[in-house]
Amino acid sequence: MKKLYRSVTDSKLTGLCGGLARWLNVDTTLVRLLVAAAAVFSFGTVLVLYVIGSVIVPKESYGGFTDGFDY
């Protein structure tokens, strides 16, 4: 099972969207657009969840692999 980590190499703010895109195996730009649209239409609820997720989700190691296995 793949674990969710914040991306070190594909980050704009905290790396959460980059890590989520890698975890879901989709394009990072798509995840960022969905998060931005959801933040506008949810009146800020998604922004609060983004901040909470950025605090809770651990950052990956600098090599891009956290446990030595490439999923």
Calculate the CA 9 to chain-centre distance.
11
Alpha helices in 1-71 (DSSP H): 16-24, 28-41, 45-56
- Helix and strand numbers (H, E) in the chain are 3, 0
pTM of the model: 0.80
Q: What is the mean pLDDT of each run of 10 residues along the chain (71 residues)?
A: 91 94 96 95 94 95 57 44
Q: Which two tokens stand for residue 55?
A: 């605090």
What Rg, from alpha-carbon coordinates, does the chain have?
A: 12
